[in-house]
Structure 1
Amino acid sequence: MADVGTLDSMGREVSYEELAERLRGHDLLAWLMDNRTLVSTEPQPRLIEGSVEVTHDLETGDGPWLLVILGDLVTTGDLRFGTDDYATSSLLVTGSLRARNVEYGGSARVAVDQDVVVSGVIVGSNGDSEANLGTSGTLTARAVLLDSHTSIWAKAGSPRSVPEGFRTLIVGGKGWREFTPDVDVGDIELHEATFIPEVLHRGMLDTDKALAHARTGASPFLPDVERRLREKRGL
C-alpha cells in the first residue's frame, strides 16, 4: 500500500481500568478485556477520542495491540487489519466503518457498533488464528471473500448475526452460524465458472489478485454470475 498510516499507533495510551470505565455497560467490554489473556505479552490499550477520517490507506502493526475508536473510522483508501502469528489483537469502533476495501487476517479481531460500508471487497483469512470482523449494524460491500476457516458477522440490531445484516455477496465456507455463503469457497470446481480470470491462480480464487482488481473499481465475479447471485439475494 502507498501512503499508509499505522492505525494502532494513533490515539493515547490508557490503562485497562480507564478503558473499562469509558466503556462501562458496553456489550463488548468483556471481549476486549479477554485480549489480555490471549497473548503472552499484554497489549497496551490505546484510545482515540473522536472519529478517524483520512484519505489514505491505514493498516495495523504486528501486534499484539488493543485499540478503541470512540467514533467513526473512515478512509477513501483501504484498511488492513493484521498481526504476526500468536499476536491476538482487538479493535472496537463505536461508530461506523467506511472504506474502499478491507482486509483482515492474522490474529486481528475487529468489531464495529454501527454500519460497515465498503465500496469494494472485504477479504478475510486465518480465522483459525482468531481473525474475525463484524458489526452490530449492517454490512454493505460489493463482495466478501473469505477462506473456509474465517467468519464474519452482522447483527443488524439483533442479538446475533442475521441474514438481513448482510447487503453483499459472500464467498466463504459452509457450516458457519454467522452467515450462509452465496458461493462455497471450498468447492474449487466452481471457481473458474464464478470468477473472472484476472483473479484466479491455477484455477482458484486468489484474494490478493481480487484486492488489486477491486482497487480499480472492478468486481471479482463474472458479470452474468454476479447478476444472478445479486438477484437471488435480493440486492
Structure 2
Amino acid sequence: MQAILTSSPASLVLTRKHLLFRFESHEIPMPCFVFSRPARSPGATAPAKATTLIPCMAYINYGDVCIARRNSLKYICAPGRNRHAMSTPTASLYALRLAQITPDDTHDDPYIAALLIALAQSKRRFLGLVQPRPSPDSYCVYVLRTDPTDESYLTLYSADIPATMLRKLSDSNKPSRMPSNFSVFSKKISFKPYSSFQERLLQSIIPQTSKRQRTREDVDSRDSKRQRT
C-alpha cells in the first residue's frame, strides 16, 4: 500500500507511523501509517519548492488493531504467562473484557473515528504553520483500511471534522454553541482490476479539478454514512 500511495501523482509522502489523539493535556498514541501532501500557498496552483508536509490520510491494517486490543489486556494474565496458558476463570474474564472493547460491527469501529479526529488535529496544527488566519471551519481527512479477513477490497473512510470539535477537545470547559458533530463516510474499493486500482483510489481521495470537482453527491449509493457527535 505504501508503494501504491507514494508512487502516485498525488505527491503523497509517508511521514509518520503513529498519530496522537489529544484531549486537553492527554496524548494517546494511535499506531498507523500517516501520509502527507505538500502544502499549497494561498492562491498557488502547485506545491511550493520548500514547503511543509500536511497530514491528510492514515492507513491501517485492521488486523493490527485487533492485535493491539488483545495486547491491551495482557494485565489479566499472570506475569510471564501467555493467554493460552490461563486458567478457566482467567480465560473467561479475558474473553469478557475483550468482548467489551470489540465493536459488534467492525466496520463501525470507534477506532476509525478516533483516527480521523487525531488526523484532523495534526492537519490543523501543521496548516497553522503555513496558512494565515482565519483557520478553516473544518478539516477533510481520510483513513484507508485493509482487512486480513477479506483481501479483495479496502475501505476508505472520510470525514470533515469541524474545528469546533477540535477546540472542544483542547478545552472541554470552554462553552460553544457551534455544532461539533460530523459524519463518517465509508466506501469499499475493490483491488481488481489491479491495473486501475491506483487511479480509482486517487479519484476517491484527491479532488478532481481537470474535468469536474468530486462532491458529496458523487458518493456511491452503496457507500455508508454514520453520524458522530
Q: TM-score range by the shorter chain?
A: under 0.3
Question: Larger relative contact order (C-alpha < 8 A, sep ≥ 6)?
Answer: 2
Larger Rg: 1 or 2? 2
TM norm structure 2 = 0.25
Greater per-residue helix proportion: 2
